[in-house]
A = this chain, B = another copy of it.
Amino acid sequence: MEETDDPANLARIRSSFAKQGLMSTLGATLGDISRGFVEISLSPSPTISQQHGFVHAGAISAVADTAAGYAALSTMAPGRGVLTTEFKINLLAPAVGSRFIARGKVLKAGKTLTLAQAEVFAEKDGALRLIAFLTATLMAIEGRDGIND
C-alpha cells in the first residue's frame, strides 16, 4: 500500500499533535502536512521568552523537534510510533519576529532509525528568514505499551 498523503495517516498526525500538552502550552499550531513534511507555527509571547525577551531557544527547539518527528511519523505504517533519540539544533539568529514557522522533512527513512531535518524561519514584515536548523534521529517503536504515534 502506498501511504503517500494517505488521509488516515495525516489524520493520525493531527490527532497525535492535539495530545501534546506542550504544543498547546507553547501556543504552537499545526500547519500544512503531507507525507514526509510537517509544518508548525509559533507566535511570540512573554510566556515563552528567554531573559532578553527573544523567544527561548527551548521553545524553538521544541517545535522544530516536533515538526521533524511528525515528518518521520508521516512516512510510517499505522501501528508504529516514534521517539526522538537525539537532535542537534543550530541557532542562527535570535528568535525575533511576528511568527515562527518550523518545517520538518524526512532526509532518510529507515527501518529502525529515520533522519529528519527541520528549518525554522522567522517572519518579519512578510519575509521569512532562516533562524534555526535541526537534524533529528527518530526511532520507530512498534507494539510497545500502545505507542502508535
Q: Which residues of A contact B (CB under 8 A)?
A: 16-17, 19-26, 45-52, 56-59, 61-63, 65-66, 81, 83-92, 94, 107-108, 110, 112-113, 115, 117, 130, 133, 135, 137, 139, 145, 147, 149
* Contact status A110-B92, CB under 8 Å: yes
Among residues of B, the one whose C-beta sits closest to the C-beta of A46 is: B21
30 contacts between A and B (CB under 8 A): A19-B50, A20-B51, A21-B50, A22-B47, A22-B56, A23-B56, A24-B47, A25-B26, A52-B149, A56-B62, A56-B66, A57-B84, A58-B59, A58-B65, A58-B66, A61-B65, A85-B90, A85-B113, A86-B90, A87-B89, A88-B135, A90-B137, A107-B130, A108-B130, A112-B112, A112-B139, A113-B139, A115-B133, A117-B133, A137-B137
A interface majority secondary structure = mixed
Q: How far is the CA of A61 from the CA of B39 in the complex (A)?
A: 20
11 further interface pairs, Cβ-Cβ under 8 Å (given A20-B50, A113-B139): A19-B51, A21-B45, A23-B56, A59-B62, A84-B91, A86-B137, A87-B88, A87-B89, A107-B133, A112-B139, A133-B135
Q: How many copies does the complex hold?
A: 4
Q: How far is the CA of A24 from the CA of B59 in the complex (A)?
A: 13
* Contact status B85-A51, CB under 8 Å: no
Q: Which 8 A-B pairs have the closest CB atoms?
A: A58-B62, A22-B56, A88-B88, A21-B49, A19-B51, A16-B51, A86-B90, A21-B46
